[in-house]
Structure 1
């Protein structure tokens, strides 16, 4: 069975790119544009990995990662944080929130896929 990856990204172009690349590699994807839907969607589908944009309208990806890590049903799902705002200390803050991986935008395909494969169990 293909691994299911939830792609949380408010930018339509980035979300489509991530999903297309993942599908081409044989993964199932669940795109999410609205940060407010992330936790309920994750509970519903139990993805193998969550790719999380950090700068979402109205809600922080860091807050979503922290919230997911507090929930028994979600805490073991690895999160790959992807952000355009890579300031000093950001990666540390994001990893402290519970992200297992971190990439700064713009993201190149090979490092992106390497990060995804690193975080997927099995």
Structure 2
């Protein structure tokens, strides 16, 4: 896997409270750009494991969704098993798996790598 300059920005509509705000949102909405992921770059060699760990809002799920082809990035490039995920999602989907987990799904007395191996069986 090779990732270079991967970024994702979402455009959110801002609504002003009240009737006037609702009407304005229809014809001239206020928008705000929110950067979820900015300039990620890494290489993962065959046999290596990768886990995304961090606080809420750090861009973990957004990055994984781009690398599995669920989301299109705003910029950058990626190659996963020779596929560009957002262009060849169906082909890639037959070759990969991803796990989205919450804290309760991890065993605290085991390192994350051992937990993943245990649940992979």
TM above 0.5, yes or no, is no
Q: What is the TM-score normalised by the length of structure 1?
A: 0.32
More RCO (CA 8 Å, sep 6+): 2
More helix by share: 1
From the CA coordinates, give the structure whose radius of gyration is larger.
2
